[in-house]
Amino acid sequence: MENGVVHDKIIIGGGAAGLMAAFSACSIRLDAGESPDVVLLERGEVPGKKLTATGNGKCNFTNKEQSAECYRGSDSDKAYRIINLFDSRKTIDLFKSIGILHRERNGYCYPYGEQAKTLRNALWTKVISLGAVIEPLKKVTGIEKLNGIFRISCEDGSVYQSKKVVISAGGAAAPVFGTDGSIFGLLENMGFNIVKPLPALCGLTSDFKYLKRIEGVRIKCNCTLYSKESSKPLYSEQGEIVFNKNGLSGIPVMNLSRFAIQELSWGNRPRLELDFFPDISKKDLKNYLFSLLNSTVVNVGDVLCSLINDKLLRVMFSQIDLKFDQSSVTYDVKTLGSELEKLVSLMKGMELNITGDTGFENAQATQGGVILKEINENTMESYKYPGMYLAGEVLDVDGMCGGYNLQWAWTTGYIAGRS
């Protein structure tokens, strides 16, 4: 116990949301002419370790294109209303005010120098200069409220007290950065309603028997996810995917992974349909390939390989039991004949069963967490525990790829800090 000291605000977890909460908590006190009494407890050696790894080390910290669909969870509308209280424009302005200019590509925003550590360092040093105290190597293991005061116990035996507390300890994704999900157990014991945490923004595994043959193939396509039992698409996105020996990844796969994982958790069997020619109708593609039959083209294999990756084409040939000349990658179009129809069907809709995911270790975000019904959307304050605020990935919101998870952390951290 720190000699009975009761702080104004203690922030648990020094990631994106926690650092932002410390920034806004200190700023509001200083604006009011008071000295801040803000302590940030971080279990790691330094705050913001995960931040330095974001966006492949470049930190895609927000996105100028925003909509409710970018924020998934049990209440996307509430999430989006919260985002609009401190939106991407305000975030960009705030970072500019602490020395981080941004660079934009198709709405995606990065620090101008495209180094994630510069953004983390700017926020970290700013927070310290505003008067926040950062306590590293403090893993919080217990929180209780007694007589209106929060008592926060750490793994090393230390105990802190405060009038207000911000929970910004992240989710369960990427445990290597200190987020092992243990915070959910702690919050559940306090009576919070929690949607079961599952991975989001990760790769998927499949039992597709030809995966080894197409390992490493990158290809643009339209990916549509179905619940195996239904013909109604759950999600569809166009972009580049990558096959690996166990399954597939790439931005569209990451974006749909949360829905596939949810289906699997319900005992359903999701499947992916890959359309490698999303801008050509099935009829046009079939007509074009049939026209080859009567053309002067000798080696249809060469023509087909100019349309689609040859390893994938060979797999399609195997699927319809057609022999494929491995050395010259050619095939006499005339012998393709009636099989052309089947080939076109595969080109416009190759199916893969989804059997699993690559786990929290390889996920960029967590789906699930404390439901938004637990918090006041204007302040992020818990209804159950007045004086306690929740921010970031610990809440039941997961963003799409493109800077949305960090935007959620900035927005909620900013509001929770000021409240």
Ligand X SMILES: Cc1cc2nc3c(=O)[nH]c(=O)nc-3n(C[C@H](O)[C@H](O)[C@H](O)COP(=O)(O)OP(=O)(O)OC[C@H]3O[C@@H](n4cnc5c(N)ncnc54)[C@H](O)[C@@H]3O)c2cc1C
Q: Which long-range contacts (CB under 8 A, 24 or more apart) does 99-103 make?
A: 102/61
- Asked whether position 73 contacts ligand X by CB under 6 A, the answer is no
Structure tokens at 124: 């970290």
In the complex, the smallest distance separating the C-beta of residue 260 from ligand X, rounded to whole angstroms, is 19
| 111 or 178: CB nearest ligand X | 178
Which of 24, 27, 60, 88 touches ligand X by CB under 6 A?
A: 60
Paired strand residues for 223? 237, 274
Which of 7, 9, 29, 50 touches ligand X by CB under 6 A?
A: 50
Contact between residue 13 and residue 409 where contact means Cβ atoms under 8 Å apart: no
Strands (E) in 310-373, as ranges, are: 350-357, 365-370
- Asked whether position 17 contacts ligand X by CB under 6 A, the answer is yes
- Asked whether position 304 contacts ligand X by CB under 6 A, the answer is no
Element holding 413 (H helix, E strand): helix 404-418
- Asked whether position 54 contacts ligand X by CB under 6 A, the answer is yes
- Asked whether position 140 contacts ligand X by CB under 6 A, the answer is yes
Structure tokens at 174: 């990427």
| 160 or 259: CB nearest ligand X | 160
Which of 94, 336, 365, 375 touches ligand X by CB under 6 A?
A: 365
Q: What is the dihedral of CA 258, 260, 265, 268, to 10 degrees?
A: 160
Stretch of 47-55, 247-255, 268-276, 324-332 contacting ligand X, by CB under 6 A = 47-55
Q: What angle do CA 30, 31, 32 make, to 5 degrees?
A: 85
- Asked whether position 374 contacts ligand X by CB under 6 A, the answer is no
| 181 or 270: CB nearest ligand X | 181
Q: What angle do CA 336, 244, 261 make, to 5 degrees?
A: 105
- Asked whether position 256 contacts ligand X by CB under 6 A, the answer is no
- Asked whether position 248 contacts ligand X by CB under 6 A, the answer is no
Which of 179, 224, 262, 382 touches ligand X by CB under 6 A?
A: 179
Residue whose pair of structure tokens reads 């789906």 in the numeric block: 367
Which of 75, 263, 393, 396 touches ligand X by CB under 6 A?
A: 393
